[in-house]
Structure 1
Amino acid sequence: MTGPAAIELPAPEDLTERQLRGADCVRCETRLDNGSAVDLGKRTVDAHGTTTSWFPRTCAGCAP
């Protein structure tokens, strides 16, 4: 796998609600807007036996 989806991220259970919904950077918790956010692609995670999607974003300073 290559591209943004290949980037290893913190575990979803270690992130805040704002990080999980892409409002804050998944690495440094900087508040993001549509102009400053770098989309890291759709991810899936098993949440108590149910597969759910999340859409992590990062700031330009933390982007690979």
Structure 2
Amino acid sequence: MYISIMDTTLRDGEQTSGVSFTATEKLNIAKLLLEELKVDRIEVASARVSRGEFKGAGLIFDWA
């Protein structure tokens, strides 16, 4: 049996009061999750994307 892990830190994590990642922090978190922790998939932003989320998602997309 294979279990696939999807992390929602970049989406759900920012919905926590007082939590806001910079675009660079989002990229570093994505790299850590995918390269170091070997998470299968990540959610990078909410459906309603702000300029900051869009920039962070763009950095992740360009890196990937």
Same fold (TM over 0.5): no
Q: Which structure carries more relative contact order (alpha carbon 8 Å, separation 6+)?
A: 2
Instruction: Return the structure number with greater strand share.
Output: 1
TM-score by length of 2: 0.31
